[in-house]
Amino acid sequence: MRIATWNVNSLKARLERVGGWLERTSPDVLLMQETKLTDDDAPRDWFQERGYTLVHHGEGRWNGVAIASRVAVTDVITHFGEPLRPAHTPDQGDDEPLAEARMVAATCGGVRVVSLYAPNGRSVGSVYYEAKLVWYARLLRWLRESADPAQPLVLGGDFNVAPADDDVWDPGSAHGGTHVSERERAAYGELLAWGLADAWRQRHSEAGRYTWWDYRAGNFHKNIGMRIDLLLATRTVADRLVAIEIDREARKGKPTPSDHAPLVADLDAPGQPFDAGWAGADERIAARRGALR
**Residue 248 contacts residue 285 (beta carbons within 8 Å):** no
**Residue 291: what pLDDT?**
55
**Residue 206: what pLDDT?**
94
Question: Cis link prior to 257 (omega < 30° from 0)?
Answer: no
pLDDT along the chain (293 residues), means of 10: 98 97 98 98 98 96 96 98 85 84 98 98 95 98 98 98 97 92 98 98 96 92 96 98 98 94 98 92 66 51
- Say how many Å lie between the first and final Cα of the chain, rounded: 44
CATH code of 2-292, in short, is 3.60.10.10
Strand partners, 29: 3, 69
β-pairing, 212-213 with 225-226?
Answer: antiparallel
**Residue 289: what pLDDT?**
53
Interatomic CA distance for residues 18 and 250, integer angstroms: 9
Interatomic CA distance for residues 35 and 238, integer angstroms: 27
Boundaries of every domain in the chain: 2-292
Strand partners, 33: 7, 65
**Residue 287: what pLDDT?**
65
Q: Tell me which DSSP letter residue 193 carries.
A: H
Residues making up the chain, counted from first to last: 293
**Residue 290: what pLDDT?**
60
Give this prediction's pTM: 0.95
**Residue 87: what pLDDT?**
80
**Residue 288: what pLDDT?**
58
